[in-house]
Amino acid sequence: MRKKNILLTGTIAVTLAMAATTLPAMASGGGGGGSSTPSSSSAAPQRSFDPAQEYRTGIAAMQAQKYRNAERAFANVLSIAPKDANTNYLMGMAKKGRGKTKSSRRFFEKAIKYKPGFINAHKELGRAYALTGKADKAQKELNWFDMKLGACAQSCADVQALQRGQRLISKAIAGEDDQETDSGALILAPQQGDTAYLKAIRLINEKRYEEALLDLEEAALLIGPHPDILNYQGYSSRKLGRYNIAKRYYLAALKLNPEHRGANEYLGELYIETGEIKKARRQLAKLGRICTFACAEEEELKHWLFASTE
């Protein structure tokens, strides 16, 4: 296959202090060789709200302790991206802020389902179980922290977060919950998400995919569900041979924007790599409909298909 660099398809201006301001969208191309300006045929579908903007509105409401407003915003996001772990976690935090500890459990459980290693979600779920009389389930969450710390040997990057989770769940189980609030995910510096996204693109071009995924995860936490971020999470995962995970990211990107050129191209490439040529051809046909006068993503996928049948 031809070597290619990922071209940056737009930057994300993230200013959470101005959450009501419309965020300049990332280009919806996001694929190899994509233009920095999306064509009208690849624009995101028209909705009454932008999920990424609603996500930031929810965070701003959390920062202002307007938990009911935060719930409404996160509910809008989840109506489009129900499997987004960060949004489920933040919805759980909004429920907790309103004193709905029992209701919060469901969202922390979903956050963990979609991101099993989500430390803050495990912590809050363990506390919620303890505070609502589910001591056995709280103990299971505490055991998770004990196991992680045992494997960590006090040297991993997450050791402090793991120790904190262990301490707070233990307190809750003992009936000594001090109402300490984890605001780390809510105090977000302006432009930090943009910076993380730009860094991830550079790392992808350097083939440092594991590192890129860390920065893409940070960008996702700060910005919310966005097809460009999901597309590159899929790309990096695929380059690491994690095809099932990559496919989930691509499909999540296409749920947000079915005409996202990059995700459609890369999903087609994944199908070629996994021997699903018919599905790859369907992706090419879809790009043919999206790219009225052809586009780089369509041409690239054609090349992949040609090379796969040589």
CATH number at 116 reads: 1.25.40.10
75 within domain boundaries: yes
- Residue 299 confidence class, pLDDT cut points 50, 70, 90: very high
Does 195 share its domain with 276? yes
Does 34 share its domain with 105? no
pLDDT at residue 39 is higher than 60: no
Q: What separation in angstroms does the CA of 56 have from each of 35, 112, 191?
A: 27, 21, 13
- Residue 46 confidence class, pLDDT cut points 50, 70, 90: low
271 within domain boundaries: yes
Q: What separation in angstroms does the CA of 142 have from each of 14, 17, 157?
A: 35, 35, 19
How does pLDDT run across 231-270, given as a tens digit for each residue?
A: 999 999 999 999 999 999 999 999 999 999 999 999 999 9
What's the mean pLDDT in 136-161? 89
- Where does a domain end: 173, 199, 233? 173
Vertex 65: Cα angle to 132 and 18 (nearest 5): 140
pLDDT at residue 25 is higher than 50: no
Does 112 share its domain with 196? no
179 within domain boundaries: no
Does 80 share its domain with 115? yes
Label residue 228 exposed, middle or buried (CB < 10 Å: 0-12, 13-18, 19+): buried
Vertex 112: Cα angle to 103 and 200 (nearest 5): 125
Vertex 225: Cα angle to 189 and 209 (nearest 5): 80
Query: Dihedral of the CA atoms 144, 87, 266, 45 (nearest 10)?
Result: 170
pLDDT at residue 167 is higher than 90: yes
Q: What are phi and psi of 110, to 5 degrees?
A: -65, -40
- In this prediction, residue 119 carries a pLDDT of 94
Taking only Cα atoms into account, the Rg of the chain, rounded to an integer number of angstroms, comes to 21
Domain count along the chain: 2
How does pLDDT run across 172-228, given as a tens digit for each residue?
A: 999 887 666 554 445 555 468 889 999 999 999 999 999 999 999 999 999 999 999
- In this prediction, residue 105 carries a pLDDT of 98
Does 169 share its domain with 60? yes
Do residues 260 and 30 make contact, with C-beta atoms less than 8 angstroms apart?
yes
How does pLDDT run across 7-24, given as a tens digit for each residue?
A: 544 333 333 332 322 233
Does 91 share its domain with 123? yes
Does 258 share its domain with 283? yes
15 within domain boundaries: no
267 within domain boundaries: yes
pLDDT at residue 134 is higher than 50: yes
Does 144 share its domain with 227? no
Does 34 share its domain with 60? no
pLDDT at residue 274 is higher than 80: yes
- Where does a domain end: 140, 173, 206? 173
Residue 154, number of CB atoms within 10 A of its CB:
9
Q: What separation in angstroms does the CA of 160 have from each of 108, 165, 173, 182, 217?
A: 20, 9, 20, 13, 19
Does 126 share its domain with 72? yes
Structure tokens at 272: 């070629």
- Where does a domain end: 144, 173, 202? 173
Range of the domain at 81: 51-173
pTM: 0.81
5 within domain boundaries: no
Does 299 share its domain with 213? yes
9 within domain boundaries: no
- In the chain, the percentage of residues whose pLDDT exceeds 90 is 69
Does 167 share its domain with 151? yes
12 within domain boundaries: no
Q: What separation in angstroms does the CA of 202 have from each of 57, 93, 152, 274, 300?
A: 29, 33, 29, 27, 21
What's the mean pLDDT in 84-102? 96
